[in-house]
Amino acid sequence: MECDNNRRKKIRLVATGGTIASRAAGRVATEGYTPSVIPAEQLLKDLPELSERMDVSCEQIFLKPSSAITESDLFDLSERVNELLMSDECDGIVITHGTDTMEETAYFLNLTVKSSKPVVVTGAMRPQEVISSDGALNLYNAFLCAESDLSRGMGVVISMNDLIISARDAVKFSTFKTDAYQAPLYGVLGTVRNGQVDYAYRPFKRHTENSEFAGMKKTALKRVEILYMYEGCDGMAFESALERGCGGLVSAGTGNGGVIGHIMKKYNDAGEKEAADLPILVRSARVPTGGVSGAYRKETPGGLRVIPSHDLNPQKAYILLKLALAVTDDPSEIKRMFEQY
């Protein structure tokens, strides 16, 4: 299929900051730069080629490193994106974002955006002024992706390093290389090459307008913590989470989502009354690929509160669990959500 370019598309840049908006100390200083200082208007001014094929506009929703983005920021961003996409004056959105937590924000939007219009998240691994900076081309390609009719209904995607990756599958795989974002388990959806957007696959899991979280308004979400499993860990973090009243836990488990025996004993030995006080435990894995199967299943009141994340990594399982707990505390319903999303 070819992109329909009979009408100039109206694409909105919603800028949040990140390395793409940072200034380096010199042309070879790829680290130690001043983060998140270049405004959205300047990013567009540096790409006059965009206005030759589409109508572009921008706004700065916030200007901060992605590690500083809060739960409240995520809702503000999602609500603003939904507001823009409801208008006939917006055909698609590009979001600039720091790469450190880009996959979490993109997945949050994939679950809460209520539109089939394109939403494309992009950023940079190198600040603007350095030799071979990747920001300008990443931003240009993201706009092409948002303009393309082929991007409709694909859910939120990340466009980086000439690749188009589903927000659900995108993982940051390098701390410094420009090809940091990959889709290690299922592969990329498509590419942007020499100005041409090309898709090879379509996401199957529920997203955007087909998500039961689509259009969710800002609300106070229950506390969820991620517990990292490692050789010799003693369960102190788990006990602390219980004391602080966490509504949910995600384990970054060993192998196929292995959780230390101290924690599993707590769930397996719990009676009906004790189980009700235990947080939902989602078993994910610290292993990059393969996911977590549903092999563990104890038909006890506490065991039923232990749910596999399937192929969601811990940080994405964290996002889904927080949204799930906002609408239900029924373990069977949350289990269904992890199967469908």
For the annotated catalytic residues, the residue numbers are 19
* Residue (of 253, 196, 251, 13) closest to 120 by Cα position: 13
- Those residues with Cβ within 8 angstroms of residue 231's Cβ, 6 or more apart along the chain or in another chain: 254
The phi, psi pair for 251, rounded to 5°, reads: -100, 130
At 290, list the tokens.
Answer: 């393969």
* Residue (of 221, 224, 276) closest to 247 by Cα position: 224
Contact 145, 192 (CB under 8 A): yes
Burial class (CB within 10 angstroms; exposed 0-12, middle 13-18, buried 19+) of 41: middle
The phi, psi pair for 275, rounded to 5°, reads: -65, -35
Q: Angle 331-340/314-327 helices, nearest 10 degrees?
A: 130
Burial class (CB within 10 angstroms; exposed 0-12, middle 13-18, buried 19+) of 28: exposed
